[in-house]
Amino acid sequence: MSSFGDPATFLASLDFDKKLAHYDIQGSSAWAQALFRADVISDDELKSIIKGLQSITKELNEGIFPFRVELEDIHFNIERRLIELVGPVGGKLHSGRSRNDQIATDIRLFCKDAISNILVLLKRFQKTLVDKAESHIDVMLPGYTHLQRAQPVLLSHHLLSYFEMVTRDVIRFKQAFDRVDVLPLGSAALSGTPYGVDREWLANELGFGNISMNSMDAVSDRDFITDIEFSASMTMIHLSRLCEEIILWSSEEFNYVTAGDAYTSGSSIMPQKRNPDIAELIRGKVGRVAGALISTIVTLKGLPLAYNRDLQEDKEPLFDVVTTLQDSLDMMAGMLESLEFNTDRMDADSRDDLLLATEVADYLTKKGVPFRESHGVVKSLFEKIVEDGVSLSDLDLNYYKEFSTYFEEDIKLINTESAIAARNITGGTSKLQVIQRINDARMGLSEDEQD
């Protein structure tokens, strides 16, 4: 909504902070109880305020709460409604509190829920990756560097590299959660409330693990928002990388994968098209998520203590980041579940002899030839193979011997399967290693479920 020509509308945040209504009520109920415990309000007054807040919750749930933009923000809207419902006693709720510690509390409560939801979605995505890896455990494909075919790998190994990325994302969000989990309420406008409220009790009541130690910092700290926005940007970058592969692999040139109908769309003009639009959109949405991070850090830069109205600009990017990330994770898991891999094509491509060049060089090195020398020998050998148009499996030992006397009969044992099986080291692509990783991953996922 444009506020053109109207300063009051320009100031108003109701349009977006109405999203925090339930958190605001949660904070207010706890605050009212803390005031009662500190002998600031009586038992009857507490009861009226709580009853009023419950009626407001009901109005919100039924969609009949009278939002009034002229009251600027969600805090004023709820406070005014409370006074309308319960009379002047409602005006006692704001004793010793400020909208500054109120908004800081609301937004932290929102962030805690958001992170918990994101963690559930990250786990679902991880589980989907593990399922796909397990059900394609034997499928081979070329691994790439510089987008050039490099060495054969297992598709399961390729997929599980995303599992590792998401594992780091999970850790980042858990760490972000710890920094969110600090109660600012009791800081009042900037210097701390003069009423003897029990902040430890408040923290416990609102489910916070810690309380802030400096009121001026507490009302102006938004580091935790940048933590979330950075973590979300990193996750979106990971999703975007996988989307890029799905897009490439869906092309006629690769023809490695087909996404489910719901995840592709046709062209309005070219009937044969099956565009990977969902993957492209997720890839595209990295822009707004990373943009939100930049927006927030630039807003925070150079703010003097303590609260400044600039901080109101933290919310829209944050809300957008949370919704975009949740939606993208949900789409990503669904799309991944729907993927059909063209395993024949992957298998055929992985059997390209050129992908075995490193393996042949390693063979010579194991026979005692310094790797640098093996590298040169194999380069000449493969140039000749390409020139002659022959394939490795057709060659007899004499062909090899022309390039190095170190070749022996067992060179014939080298093939795509053996090259993959040879990478049997922690983190390598051999089937044994990948199965081990799948088992560990499953164990980790089920332990988390028990948390």
The residues annotated with a catalytic role in the active site are 146, 267
What are residue 210's DSSP bridge partners?
Answer: 182
- Judged by CB under 6 A, how many residues of this single chain contact ligand ARG? 10
Q: Which is nearer to ligand ARG, 100 or 105 (CB)?
A: 100
Write down the least CB distance from residue 103 to ligand ARG, Å: 4
Considering only the stretches 28-36, 269-277, 309-317, 370-378, report the one whose residues sit in contact with ligand ARG under the rule CB under 6 A. 309-317
Considering only the stretches 78-86, 96-104, 147-155, 284-292, report the one whose residues sit in contact with ligand ARG under the rule CB under 6 A. 96-104
CA dihedral 123, 127, 133, 137 (to 10 degrees): 140
Distance CA 61, CA 57 (A): 6
307 counts as binding ligand ARG under rule CB under 6 A: yes
Considering only the stretches 21-29, 128-136, 274-282, 308-316, report the one whose residues sit in contact with ligand ARG under the rule CB under 6 A. 308-316
Distance CA 245, CA 257 (A): 10
Considering only the stretches 28-36, 161-169, 303-311, 321-329, report the one whose residues sit in contact with ligand ARG under the rule CB under 6 A. 303-311
Query: Which parts of 135-199 are beta strand (E)?
Result: 140-145, 148-154, 182-183
311-330 binders of ligand ARG (CB under 6 A): 311-312
Tokens of 242: 């996988």
- Of all residues in the shown chain, the one whose CB is closest to ligand ARG is 312
Distance CA 442, CA 130 (A): 8
**Torsion sign (Cα): 44, 50, 54, 56:** positive
Question: Cα-flanking dihedrals φ and ψ of residue 187, to 5°?
Answer: -80, -15
9 counts as binding ligand ARG under rule CB under 6 A: no
**DSSP-derived secondary structure letter, 305:** S
User: Tokens 């850090």 label which residue?
Assistant: 297
Cβ neighbourhood burial of 407 (10 Å; 0-12, 13-18, 19+): buried
Q: Tell me the per-residue interface mask from 161 to 200 with ligand ARG, x by CB under 6 A, - otherwise.
A: ----------------------------------------
Cβ neighbourhood burial of 450 (10 Å; 0-12, 13-18, 19+): exposed
Q: Tell me the per-residue interface mask from 363 to 382 with ligand ARG, x by CB under 6 A, - otherwise.
A: --------------------
73 counts as binding ligand ARG under rule CB under 6 A: yes
111 counts as binding ligand ARG under rule CB under 6 A: no
13 counts as binding ligand ARG under rule CB under 6 A: yes
Q: Which residue in the set 103, 180, 246, 318 belongs to the binding site for ligand ARG (CB under 6 A)?
A: 103
23 counts as binding ligand ARG under rule CB under 6 A: no
Distance CA 158, CA 133 (A): 8
User: Tokens 């829920």 label which residue?
Assistant: 113
User: Tokens 């006074």 label which residue?
Assistant: 83
25 counts as binding ligand ARG under rule CB under 6 A: no
100 counts as binding ligand ARG under rule CB under 6 A: yes
| Cβ neighbour number for residue 389 with a 10 Å cutoff | 6
Considering only the stretches 77-85, 204-212, 306-314, 331-339, report the one whose residues sit in contact with ligand ARG under the rule CB under 6 A. 306-314
Summarize as ranges the residues that interact with ligand ARG (CB under 6 A): 13, 17, 73, 99-100, 103, 307, 309, 311-312
